[in-house]
Copies of this chain bind each other. A is one copy, B any other.
Amino acid sequence: MPEQRFDPHDLAQMAPRYRARFINSLSGFKSANLVGTVDGDGRTNLSIVSSVFHLGAAPPLMGFIVRPHTVERHTLENLLETGYFTLNAVNHPHYAAAHQTSARYDRDQSEFDACGLEPRFVPGFVAPFVAQSPLRIGLRLVAHQPIALNQTELVIGEVVQVMVDDAAVQEDGYIDLEGLGVVAVSGLDSYHQTARLSRLSYAKPEHPPHRLTLSGQPEEDA
Protein backbone atom coordinates (compact mmCIF):
# COMPACT_ATOMS: atom_id res chain seq x y z
CA MET A 1 0.00 0.00 0.00
CA PRO A 2 1.37 3.50 -0.74
CA GLU A 3 2.46 5.30 2.37
CA GLN A 4 2.72 8.87 3.51
CA ARG A 5 5.82 9.98 5.34
CA PHE A 6 5.89 12.96 7.67
CA ASP A 7 9.12 14.59 8.88
CA PRO A 8 9.54 17.28 11.58
CA HIS A 9 8.94 20.02 9.01
CA ASP A 10 5.66 18.43 7.89
CA LEU A 11 4.54 18.02 11.50
CA ALA A 12 5.40 21.65 12.33
CA GLN A 13 3.48 22.92 9.28
CA MET A 14 0.21 21.23 10.20
CA ALA A 15 -2.66 23.52 11.20
CA PRO A 16 -3.25 23.25 14.97
CA ARG A 17 -6.55 21.35 14.82
CA TYR A 18 -5.29 19.03 12.11
CA ARG A 19 -2.17 18.32 14.13
CA ALA A 20 -4.19 17.71 17.30
CA ARG A 21 -6.28 15.06 15.54
CA PHE A 22 -3.26 13.53 13.83
CA ILE A 23 -0.98 13.30 16.87
CA ASN A 24 -3.82 12.09 19.08
CA SER A 25 -4.31 9.21 16.66
CA LEU A 26 -0.72 7.99 16.87
CA SER A 27 -0.91 6.28 20.23
CA GLY A 28 -3.38 3.61 19.05
CA PHE A 29 -6.59 2.54 20.73
CA LYS A 30 -7.04 4.11 24.12
CA SER A 31 -9.20 3.43 27.13
CA ALA A 32 -12.36 5.42 27.78
CA ASN A 33 -12.71 6.27 31.44
CA LEU A 34 -14.72 8.82 33.35
CA VAL A 35 -12.86 10.47 36.23
CA GLY A 36 -15.19 11.27 39.10
CA THR A 37 -14.22 13.83 41.74
CA VAL A 38 -15.81 16.11 44.32
CA ASP A 39 -14.63 19.37 45.85
CA GLY A 40 -14.62 20.34 49.52
CA ASP A 41 -18.09 21.87 49.11
CA GLY A 42 -19.56 18.63 47.81
CA ARG A 43 -19.80 19.71 44.16
CA THR A 44 -19.25 16.72 41.91
CA ASN A 45 -17.30 16.70 38.66
CA LEU A 46 -16.97 14.18 35.87
CA SER A 47 -14.51 14.19 32.97
CA ILE A 48 -13.64 11.71 30.25
CA VAL A 49 -9.95 10.81 29.90
CA SER A 50 -8.21 8.58 27.39
CA SER A 51 -4.75 8.51 28.96
CA VAL A 52 -5.28 6.03 31.81
CA PHE A 53 -2.50 3.46 32.03
CA HIS A 54 -1.45 0.55 34.20
CA LEU A 55 1.51 1.28 36.47
CA GLY A 56 1.80 -1.84 38.57
CA ALA A 57 -0.13 -4.62 40.25
CA ALA A 58 1.56 -4.79 43.66
CA PRO A 59 0.83 -2.19 44.87
CA PRO A 60 -2.06 -1.74 42.43
CA LEU A 61 -1.33 1.60 40.72
CA MET A 62 -2.91 3.45 37.82
CA GLY A 63 -1.93 6.75 36.25
CA PHE A 64 -3.39 9.32 33.90
CA ILE A 65 -2.48 12.67 32.38
CA VAL A 66 -4.29 15.92 33.11
CA ARG A 67 -4.00 19.15 31.13
CA PRO A 68 -4.34 21.74 33.90
CA HIS A 69 -5.34 24.62 31.64
CA THR A 70 -8.34 22.95 30.06
CA VAL A 71 -11.68 21.58 31.18
CA GLU A 72 -9.81 18.98 33.21
CA ARG A 73 -8.66 21.68 35.65
CA HIS A 74 -11.65 21.04 37.95
CA THR A 75 -10.75 17.35 38.06
CA LEU A 76 -7.18 18.14 39.09
CA GLU A 77 -8.18 20.74 41.68
CA ASN A 78 -10.73 18.39 43.22
CA LEU A 79 -8.52 15.35 43.48
CA LEU A 80 -5.71 17.40 45.01
CA GLU A 81 -8.19 18.83 47.51
CA THR A 82 -9.78 15.54 48.60
CA GLY A 83 -7.05 13.01 47.78
CA TYR A 84 -9.49 10.64 46.08
CA PHE A 85 -10.94 9.99 42.62
CA THR A 86 -12.79 7.31 40.73
CA LEU A 87 -12.23 5.78 37.29
CA ASN A 88 -15.35 4.41 35.61
CA ALA A 89 -15.14 2.39 32.39
CA VAL A 90 -17.32 3.79 29.60
CA ASN A 91 -19.61 1.23 27.98
CA HIS A 92 -21.46 1.23 24.69
CA PRO A 93 -24.86 2.61 25.82
CA HIS A 94 -23.25 5.66 27.44
CA TYR A 95 -20.38 6.67 25.19
CA ALA A 96 -22.08 9.80 23.83
CA ALA A 97 -22.94 10.97 27.35
CA ALA A 98 -19.34 10.29 28.39
CA HIS A 99 -18.02 12.30 25.43
CA GLN A 100 -20.28 15.19 26.39
CA THR A 101 -18.47 15.53 29.76
CA SER A 102 -15.56 17.06 27.80
CA ALA A 103 -17.61 20.23 27.18
CA ARG A 104 -16.56 23.30 29.17
CA TYR A 105 -19.18 23.40 31.86
CA ASP A 106 -19.02 25.94 34.67
CA ARG A 107 -17.74 24.77 38.00
CA ASP A 108 -21.22 25.09 39.49
CA GLN A 109 -22.69 22.67 36.99
CA SER A 110 -22.07 18.99 37.60
CA GLU A 111 -21.35 16.99 34.45
CA PHE A 112 -23.36 14.17 36.05
CA ASP A 113 -26.53 16.25 35.76
CA ALA A 114 -25.63 17.95 32.50
CA CYS A 115 -24.81 14.68 30.72
CA GLY A 116 -27.42 12.39 32.21
CA LEU A 117 -25.14 10.20 34.29
CA GLU A 118 -25.91 9.22 37.85
CA PRO A 119 -23.46 9.57 40.75
CA ARG A 120 -23.21 6.65 43.14
CA PHE A 121 -21.57 7.06 46.51
CA VAL A 122 -20.00 4.31 48.61
CA PRO A 123 -19.82 4.74 52.40
CA GLY A 124 -16.36 5.85 53.47
CA PHE A 125 -15.27 6.89 49.97
CA VAL A 126 -15.58 10.58 49.16
CA ALA A 127 -15.43 10.61 45.35
CA PRO A 128 -18.49 9.79 43.23
CA PHE A 129 -18.70 6.69 41.03
CA VAL A 130 -20.78 6.50 37.84
CA ALA A 131 -23.79 4.27 38.40
CA GLN A 132 -24.06 3.36 34.70
CA SER A 133 -20.48 2.07 34.48
CA PRO A 134 -19.97 -1.72 34.58
CA LEU A 135 -16.46 -1.35 36.07
CA ARG A 136 -15.92 1.26 38.79
CA ILE A 137 -12.60 1.84 40.49
CA GLY A 138 -11.92 3.95 43.58
CA LEU A 139 -8.41 5.35 43.93
CA ARG A 140 -6.42 7.17 46.56
CA LEU A 141 -4.08 9.83 45.21
CA VAL A 142 -0.51 8.73 45.94
CA ALA A 143 1.56 10.96 43.66
CA HIS A 144 1.29 13.78 41.18
CA GLN A 145 4.13 15.29 39.28
CA PRO A 146 4.31 17.93 36.61
CA ILE A 147 5.75 16.92 33.28
CA ALA A 148 8.23 19.68 32.64
CA LEU A 149 8.05 19.51 28.84
CA ASN A 150 4.53 20.81 28.58
CA GLN A 151 1.77 21.93 30.92
CA THR A 152 0.56 18.47 31.86
CA GLU A 153 0.42 16.66 35.14
CA LEU A 154 0.87 12.96 35.84
CA VAL A 155 -1.60 11.74 38.46
CA ILE A 156 -1.04 8.37 40.14
CA GLY A 157 -3.61 6.60 42.27
CA GLU A 158 -3.64 3.40 44.29
CA VAL A 159 -6.65 1.17 43.67
CA VAL A 160 -8.62 0.78 46.88
CA GLN A 161 -12.10 -0.18 45.61
CA VAL A 162 -13.25 -2.16 42.61
CA MET A 163 -16.88 -2.81 41.66
CA VAL A 164 -17.49 -4.93 38.61
CA ASP A 165 -20.39 -6.87 37.14
CA ASP A 166 -20.10 -10.37 38.50
CA ALA A 167 -20.04 -12.39 35.30
CA ALA A 168 -17.04 -10.54 33.88
CA VAL A 169 -14.41 -11.75 36.37
CA GLN A 170 -12.80 -14.90 34.99
CA GLU A 171 -11.37 -17.69 37.14
CA ASP A 172 -7.79 -16.55 36.55
CA GLY A 173 -8.44 -12.89 37.42
CA TYR A 174 -8.86 -11.56 33.87
CA ILE A 175 -11.80 -9.16 33.54
CA ASP A 176 -13.84 -9.53 30.34
CA LEU A 177 -14.11 -5.87 29.31
CA GLU A 178 -15.61 -6.86 25.97
CA GLY A 179 -18.42 -8.72 27.71
CA LEU A 180 -19.05 -5.56 29.74
CA GLY A 181 -19.48 -3.56 26.54
CA VAL A 182 -16.55 -1.30 27.39
CA VAL A 183 -15.53 0.91 24.46
CA ALA A 184 -12.15 1.98 23.11
CA VAL A 185 -11.24 5.44 21.81
CA SER A 186 -9.11 6.45 18.85
CA GLY A 187 -7.91 9.94 18.18
CA LEU A 188 -9.92 12.69 19.85
CA ASP A 189 -13.44 11.62 19.06
CA SER A 190 -13.90 8.09 17.68
CA TYR A 191 -15.48 5.33 19.77
CA HIS A 192 -15.24 1.60 19.05
CA GLN A 193 -16.69 -1.70 20.17
CA THR A 194 -14.37 -4.68 20.17
CA ALA A 195 -14.34 -8.26 18.88
CA ARG A 196 -11.86 -10.58 20.57
CA LEU A 197 -9.24 -12.20 18.37
CA SER A 198 -7.93 -14.33 21.22
CA ARG A 199 -6.23 -14.44 24.55
CA LEU A 200 -2.68 -15.75 24.13
CA SER A 201 -0.52 -17.83 26.46
CA TYR A 202 2.40 -16.33 28.39
CA ALA A 203 5.23 -15.93 25.85
CA LYS A 204 8.33 -18.11 26.20
CA PRO A 205 11.35 -18.12 23.89
CA GLU A 206 11.13 -21.84 23.09
CA HIS A 207 7.77 -21.89 21.38
CA PRO A 208 5.11 -19.67 19.78
CA PRO A 209 2.12 -18.55 21.84
CA HIS A 210 -1.03 -20.65 21.77
CA ARG A 211 -4.59 -19.39 21.92
CA LEU A 212 -6.50 -19.35 25.20
CA THR A 213 -10.22 -19.33 25.81
CA LEU A 214 -11.87 -16.36 27.47
CA SER A 215 -11.45 -18.08 30.83
CA GLY A 216 -7.72 -18.63 30.24
CA GLN A 217 -7.72 -22.33 29.29
CA PRO A 218 -5.79 -23.65 26.25
CA GLU A 219 -7.99 -23.80 23.17
CA GLU A 220 -8.52 -27.45 22.22
CA ASP A 221 -8.57 -26.86 18.49
CA ALA A 222 -5.47 -24.66 18.38
**Residues on A facing B (Cβ under 8 Å):** 1-8, 11, 14, 16-33, 50-63, 65, 87, 89, 92, 95-96, 99-105, 109, 114, 134-135, 137, 142-143, 145, 147-150, 152, 154, 156, 159-167, 169-170, 172-175, 177-178, 182-184, 186-205, 208-209, 212, 216
| Structural contact, A173 and B102, CB atoms closer than 8 A | no
14 intermolecular pairs with C-beta atoms under 8 Å apart = A4-B166, A7-B160, A16-B57, A22-B169, A23-B54, A25-B173, A28-B33, A28-B177, A30-B30, A51-B54, A53-B65, A61-B149, A177-B187, A193-B195
| Structural contact, B159 and A204, CB atoms closer than 8 A | no
| Structural contact, A200 and B148, CB atoms closer than 8 A | no
Contacts of A159 in B (CB 8 A): 11, 23, 26
| Structural contact, B3 and A62, CB atoms closer than 8 A | no
| Structural contact, B22 and A200, CB atoms closer than 8 A | no
Q: Bound complex: CA of A105 vs CA of B205, how far in Å?
A: 6
Closest to A56 in B: B150
Q: Bound complex: CA of A179 vs CA of B60, how far in Å?
A: 35
Closest to A143 in B: B149
- Most interface-central of A65, A161, A194 (chain B CB within 10 A): A194
| Structural contact, A57 and B24, CB atoms closer than 8 A | yes
Copies per assembly:
2
Contacts of A169 in B (CB 8 A): 4, 22
Q: Bound complex: CA of A65 vs CA of B102, how far in Å?
A: 26
| Structural contact, B174 and A100, CB atoms closer than 8 A | no
Q: Bound complex: CA of A167 vs CA of B31, how far in Å?
A: 25
Contacts of A33 in B (CB 8 A): 27-28
Contacts of A162 in B (CB 8 A): 4-6, 11, 22, 26
Closest to A195 in B: B193
Contacts of A216 in B (CB 8 A): 21
Q: A2-B166, A149-B142 are in contact. Are A198 and B209 (CB under 8 A)?
A: no
| Structural contact, B161 and A2, CB atoms closer than 8 A | no
